[in-house]
Structure 1
Amino acid sequence: MNPLLKQQPPTKDRYDVVIVGGAMMGASTAWFLTDTPDFDGSVLVVERDPSYEFCSTAHSNSCIRQQFSTEINVRISQFGADFINNLPRHMGNDPRVPQLRIQNYGYLYLADNDAFADILRDNQKVQHAAGAGTRLLSPEQIKEAYPFYNVDDVVLGSLNTVDEGYWDSIAVFDWWRRQSRERGVEYVANEVVTMAKNAAGTRVETVTLASGEVISCGQVVNCSGPRAARTSRMAGIDIPVEPRKRYTWVFSAEKPLDRELPLTVDPSGVHMRQDGKTTYMAGGHSEVDPAVDYDDFNMDLSLWENHVWPAIATRIPQFEAIKVMREWTGHYAYNTFDHNAIIGPHDTIENFIFLNGFSGHGLQQAPAMGRGTAEWLTYGEYRSLDLTPFHYDRILRNAPLVEKAII
């Protein structure tokens, strides 16, 4: 907990649902609980830093795509896109809620070898079966559509410009929090520091806050992002989630491109996209990609000069003359097991619910995951989209749900 922030005690000593972490996943879960007709319980959201200065939500590049290798991830993003594009309707036609639109400059995956090209072909079949508009492009077709690319080493491209691109995630985040508070959800600036289970070890009975209060809970939801493993350990559970650094740069070009730049996933591992009318965003990570300390947000000053800039200037020669305007470091909540979310209940601690390990695609999945978690908390089952493939028990069974389209 930031020592400069004043800790807030909750107003009650028992809640039906205690959500640990109030960023995107916690806010989504809280709001969807209030939007579930059969849920009438009390909800407490405990957020250690309500400024959200260092949370993954604040550091995200805020994009959405349907180009995944598993059908369930495609379906999740399709609901996310519908939620974004029809936000007022989803939020009860509240006249204060803004009308948002995804800026559909799309995602373009570039393959520089036959093996990755085959993966793109396989992925497209999955995406098409789910109704996504992904197109496979030859190097010549890429060059025709986007003349600024160097495609000398490209074998195949995969592009979708329907419900793929940038969206205003902070607007959705703010309205989830605002409406859920108005509907009775309580947010406190505090931190869960310990948990106590019943004698049988089958339920979390209480959580203790940094300010000293002991709160009884019906169910606990772990929404603590990169700190998920720390929160789980309070209940005696180990999960394979760790914080890993992801770096972002926003830059201007001496000669701007003559059309919008799709979010381009380069074979080098660097990705870049349109940011403003004449500005661009690039992201990447170091070749050595270790877990880092929860509070380590230091930039790698050599990464831009030695890796990112050379990669984007090679792909787009116009980007040889650019100026960095701002830069930052964020954390992925990285699931080392299979790069997919871990959600649902623990196998023996029945009221401990996971919502963790999104490995970089959490914001775009937040609407479907919050809705599903609210359904599970209310009904003990999913009523809209079956999310059981993401349940914690797959880790116990050593049965990874492999997602090949990770950035």
Structure 2
Amino acid sequence: MSRASMHQTPARATYDVVIVGGAMLGSSTAWFLTENPDFDGSVLVIERDPSYGMCSTAHTNSCIRQQFSSALNVRISQFAADFIKNFRAYMGGDTRVPELSIQSYGYLYLADSPAFAEVLRQNQKVQLAEGVATQLLTPDEIARDYPFYRLDDIVLGSINRIDEGYWDGGTVFDWLRRSARERGVEYISNEVVEMSRNAAGDRVETVTLKSGEKIACGQVVNASGPRATRTAAMAGIEIPVEPRKRFTWIFSAERPLDRELPLTIDPSGVHMRQDGPTTYMAGGHADPDPAVDFDDFTMDHGLWQDQVWPTIATRIPQFEAIRVVTEWVGHYAYNTLDQNAIVGPHSQIENFVFLNGFSGHGLQQAPAMGRGTAEYLTYGEFRSLDLSPLGYGRIERGEPVVEKAVI
């Protein structure tokens, strides 16, 4: 069934689970609910844009890494890697589903100060304890493996070449969504504009659609990406999530490199990687990095000219002569407290479930987060992987869960 064929009007007046947002995280949750033999309820996914043209999923760079400073974030990505590499098996062996892999050219963090180098060393200890094959490289070792970098300001590098790089996030999203619908999840093209709570104020009773229908719900999942704050506010909840612009450029080089370019995180924050056989991808953001309107996708052409391209050409002199092929703007659903996801139930409104604030990690974290959210909706607890450290309680207390490896 095509995206355009989504109905606007729900088939029922009551659903056990209403998911607000049908992109990667909402569809992952919906699919894992259908996969859980102990869940037999009804599911409605409400997506305001059936083309998915402006959602974060559509603008992702579709990368995955294991190099996090938090053991939980490492495990979340480890499950994603397994899910991607065994995608057809997870989809029940459906021969329509393609076999997928990860193009593991690795992430290379470059540290230009002793303090940053120490962060990489501490991160590696966490990663090695979780079975990640992270290596620390001296500048000479980086030059040996990747002789095209200028390294006179670099004191240490960190790289992992296993299950780090590019994957086909678009295909995974399409199949999660398609399979969920085939299994009975209802998707509609509409928008939630209001929520009502019960007399005690501890449950959301109904959601009201833009088209006027009022839907009774057992549980509500906020999977609305950069619009998460607006969705939460309908239930009287505040969360520290805002849309922030992230810019991407695809470019070709007059003199292509003689080997694959790892996803290189320059100390400036600009990052770049191999994209195709002869093209490369670069990303960055403005400084300062303000919140923007939900519908603001205006390109900042000066950012490329004044900041990103000079950084690229300085780090890789071979990239002094390059040409932009295409460019786009996407939004991070940026958690201003700690740039980590908010997952699980609200503390007082017990049937309002968060899936928000991923700050650029949402695509790679979607398999584990969808699985965990489906478990919570079914059992009232996380079972496969304890996601409770990322719960709403820390937001309420103002206690960040620090993740030092944020791009």
TM-score by length of 2: 0.98
Instruction: Look up the match of 1:179.
Output: 179
Q: Deviations over 1:297-337 (max 9, x none)?
A: 00111000100000000000011000000000000000000
Instruction: Look up the match of 1:378.
Output: 378
Instruction: Look up the match of 1:324.
Output: 324
Following TM superposition, by how much is the alpha carbon of 1:92 offset from its aligned partner in structure 2, in angstroms? 1.0
Instruction: Look up the match of 1:159.
Output: 159
How do 1:207-218 residues align onto structure 2 when only pairs under 5 Å count?
A: 207-218=207-218
Where do 5+ consecutive residues of structure 2 fail to align? none
Say whether the 8 Å CA contact 2:17–2:217 is kept in structure 1.
yes
Following TM superposition, by how much is the alpha carbon of 1:6 offset from its aligned partner in structure 2, in angstroms? 9.0
In 1, Cα distance between equivalents of 2:149 and 2:48:
44
Q: Deviations over 1:118-164 (max 9, x none)?
A: 00000000000000000000000000000111111100000001000
The residue identity in structure 1 corresponding to 2:97 is: V
> 1:250 aligns to what SS in structure 2?
strand
Instruction: Look up the match of 1:312.
Output: 312
Q: Deviations over 1:248-293 (max 9, x none)?
A: 0000000000000000000011000000000000000011100000
Q: Deviations over 1:200-244 (max 9, x none)?
A: 001000000011100000000000000000000000000000000
Q: Does 1:117 align with 2:117?
A: yes
In 2, Cα distance between equivalents of 1:355 and 1:198:
22
In 2, Cα distance between equivalents of 1:382 and 1:200:
26
How do 1:93-242 residues align onto structure 2 when only pairs under 5 Å count?
A: 93-242=93-242
How do 1:27-66 residues align onto structure 2 when only pairs under 5 Å count?
A: 27-66=27-66
Say whether the 8 Å CA contact 1:7–1:211 is kept in structure 2.
no
The residue identity in structure 2 corresponding to 1:374 is: A
In 1, Cα distance between equivalents of 2:109 and 2:137:
10
Say whether the 8 Å CA contact 1:5–1:49 is kept in structure 2.
no
The residue identity in structure 2 corresponding to 1:104 is: S
Following TM superposition, by how much is the alpha carbon of 1:5 offset from its aligned partner in structure 2, in angstroms? 11
> 1:268 aligns to what SS in structure 2?
coil
Query: How many positions carry a matched residue from both structures?
Result: 404
In 2, Cα distance between equivalents of 1:253 and 1:361:
28
Following TM superposition, by how much is the alpha carbon of 1:105 offset from its aligned partner in structure 2, in angstroms? 0.5
In 2, Cα distance between equivalents of 1:392 and 1:149:
42
In 2, Cα distance between equivalents of 1:63 and 1:218:
35
Following TM superposition, by how much is the alpha carbon of 1:398 offset from its aligned partner in structure 2, in angstroms? 2.0
In 2, Cα distance between equivalents of 1:269 and 1:256:
23
In 2, Cα distance between equivalents of 1:16 and 1:359:
29
In 2, Cα distance between equivalents of 1:7 and 1:169:
25
In 1, Cα distance between equivalents of 2:229 and 2:199:
23
Instruction: Look up the match of 1:250.
Output: 250
In 2, Cα distance between equivalents of 1:91 and 1:106:
27
Instruction: Look up the match of 2:358.
Output: 358
What fraction of aligned residue pairs are identical, expressed as a percent? 73
Instruction: Look up the match of 2:405.
Output: 405
Instruction: Look up the match of 2:273.
Output: 273
Where do 5+ consecutive residues of structure 1 fail to align? none
The residue identity in structure 1 corresponding to 2:49 is: D
> 2:178 aligns to what SS in structure 1?
helix
> 2:261 aligns to what SS in structure 1?
coil
Instruction: Look up the match of 2:337.
Output: 337
Instruction: Look up the match of 2:297.
Output: 297
In 1, Cα distance between equivalents of 2:257 and 2:208:
54
Q: Deviations over 1:366-391 (max 9, x none)?
A: 00000000000000011100000000
In 1, Cα distance between equivalents of 2:117 and 2:78:
24
Following TM superposition, by how much is the alpha carbon of 1:93 offset from its aligned partner in structure 2, in angstroms? 1.0
Runs of 4 or more, structure 1, over 6 Å off, are 4-7
Instruction: Look up the match of 1:13.
Output: 13
Worse-superposed segment, 181-190 or 391-400 = 391-400
In 1, Cα distance between equivalents of 2:326 and 2:95:
35
> 2:194 aligns to what SS in structure 1?
strand
Structure 1 residues 183 and 6 mapped into 2: Cα distance closer, same or farther (>3 Å)? closer
Worse-superposed segment, 361-370 or 396-405 = 396-405
> 1:172 aligns to what SS in structure 2?
helix
Say whether the 8 Å CA contact 2:197–2:204 is kept in structure 1.
yes
Following TM superposition, by how much is the alpha carbon of 1:90 offset from its aligned partner in structure 2, in angstroms? 1.0
Q: What RMSD, in angstroms, separates the aligned Cα atoms of the two structures?
A: 1.1
The residue identity in structure 2 corresponding to 1:100 is: L
> 2:126 aligns to what SS in structure 1?
helix
In 1, Cα distance between equivalents of 2:397 and 2:130:
28
> 1:377 aligns to what SS in structure 2?
helix
